[in-house]
Amino acid sequence: MTAQRACGMACRYLDRGPEKLVIEGFRRFMTGYDRESATCWELAAELYVEEIGASDSPRIVAALARWIGALRSHMDRPATLSTFGCPRLCRDECFAVSMIAACQSRDAASLEAALAGLVRPEGVAAVRAAAKDFAAALAESGHFLIPVPAAVIGDIASRPGRERFH
């Protein structure tokens, strides 16, 4: 059954726990940096405790924080983000979730395509390493993302930056 959203839109993708954790963690941590607000980070940590449990969530949130830190250090612009809880994904969010999915599925082509969408060339190695650590932490807790093919990531990369995807 498809969940109905307030906007009248049907959504399944972000109803999946692993994708929700990655996207909402990405949104909340990036917003926390942008607003210089620890409250956003606390909201991310609370979500992880709710979804994963108190024993595993600190380790996974730490890996999330390292990934976000690496991304922020090697992006040449602020990330484009949807609001917390939004069922739609913007372009940067597509690259972010695709990056973690590619790490889990060991899809080098998809990983490189997702990295190219967000990261300056000199930062690829650092972000790749942090993404792999975060993906592994999620997998260790039983949270596996749906793989995103490199062709889909390439299609997203060819679209305008402000466009949103579902």
58-80 per-position pLDDT tens digit? 999 999 999 999 999 999 899 99
For the full predicted model, state whether its pTM sits above 0.85: yes
pLDDT at residue 120, as a whole number:
97
Is the pLDDT score of 57 beyond 80? Answer: yes
159 or 117, which is more confident: 117
Q: What is the mean pLDDT of residues 151-163?
A: 82
pLDDT at residue 161, as a whole number:
66
pLDDT at residue 13, as a whole number:
75
Q: What is the mean pLDDT of the chain?
A: 90
Report the distance separating Cα 147 and Cα 35, nearest Å.
31
27-50 per-position pLDDT tens digit? 999 999 999 999 999 999 999 999
95-105 per-position pLDDT tens digit? 999 999 999 99
90's tokens: 């913007």
130-150 per-position pLDDT tens digit? 999 999 999 999 999 999 999
Report the distance separating Cα 23 and Cα 21, nearest Å.
6
Element (H, E) at 22: helix 17-35
Q: Where are the domains of the chain?
A: 12-165
Closest listed residue to residue 101, CA positions, set 112, 113, 110, 88: 110
